Structure 1
């Protein structure tokens, strides 16, 4: 169902994007996003069953709320505090500390950069609906040049992003290629 939504709504004008999602996204990432709901359910169940009480509370707080509209005067550009949660897989739940992220708009779309920490990401957002974006980015490590989506399939990232509070965006990466079943990047300011 999500894949159908991805393909039907990719061109919606609510949020800037640099092109049509279905022309850029790989078959592997289409599959990951198509399985988003099932992956998220499984990973969160593992996190809740085996994570520490403190980390579970942090994750639940990060995911709280319902998706809010992304248009209607919402401007995500600027600096954000961000933290990553890794849920499911070898370790049930890991909550990392706060780092720095930035969302910019070069006129063709919103771009995310994780600026600090050892594991980073850089990529673009695409409109899925009035309350949901797709994110296509690439992971890299501190000290390396930022990669672009499509340059190295092993580093490609696909995610679903929602605005869950006035100043909170939650980006959920189903089936990342390393370490977990679900990565959650939370941006707050």
Structure 2
């Protein structure tokens, strides 16, 4: 029951039109495990399985050269230790690996869009600002190699993020990892749509 109370406090639906005011209201904990749904905790625990499965399927379907071109972004064990995540504007692109058997491609990479990481009270918030599928949520402290992202998916011309926990099809969980100097990725295992894993690659907007 404790995490249900916390989910109600995770006020994503209370945010102004993106990219408006901070959307954090009150959280009684900074431990993501007490905020995440059971289904999302299970998804995150299988991130590496999702990653390797997506890579294998894409390579089998003839995308080996595209995967090689990703460099560290496409390597499951590329994460580096870090202390802080720089806030500011980022360029981000989404790479989708694997399929859910619905006629989609096993490898898709999209052009770069606009993203931001900003302070949300004593946490950080991640926003994908442009594009038709826009993850929006919070980055929680975890270990030296990742921050855990909890958020929801904003679609199309929607201007407000849905409350986390209100719709499992929109809930998202992921791991933000550093993979190089000013080079980050957000791993989103087993998304509700299309792929086995989504990788959002981030570089500072000035680069």
**TM-score, length of structure 2 as denominator length:** 0.75
Q: Structure 1: how far apart are the matches of 2:48 and 2:72?
A: 19
Partner residue, 1:169:
184
Please say if residues 173 and 183 of structure 1, whose CA atoms lie closer than 8 Å, have aligned partners that are also in contact. yes
1:35 pairs with 2:46: yes
Deviations 1:113-136 (Å, cap 9, x if unpaired)? 000111101011122211212111
> Once the two structures are superposed, what CA deviation does each residue of 1:106-164 show, in whole Å capped at 9, x if it has no partner?
23201000001111010111222112121111001132122242232210001112011
Alpha-carbon offset, residue 57 of structure 1: 3.5
- C-alpha change, 1:119 and 1:95, in structure 2 (3 Å) is same
What is the total number of aligned residue pairs between the two structures? 171
Larger radius of gyration: 2
Q: Cα RMSD over matched residues?
A: 2.0
Cα deviation, residue 60, structure 1: 3.3
Q: Give structure 2 stretches of 5+ with no counterpart.
A: 1-26
Range that drifts further, 45-54 or 126-135: 45-54
Contact map agreement 1:63 1:164 (CA 8 A) in 2: no
Consecutive unaligned residues of structure 1, counting only runs of 5 or more, are 1-16
> 2:86 matched to 1:76?
yes
Matched residue, 1:60 = 71
CA deviations over 1:38-69 (Å, ceiling 9, x no partner)? 11111111122224455323433523583233
Q: Aligned partners of 2:181 and 2:90: how far apart in 1?
A: 13
- 104-113 vs 49-58, which moves further: 49-58
| Cα displacement (A) at 1:84 | 0.2
Which residue number in structure 2 is paired with residue 153 of structure 1?
Answer: 168
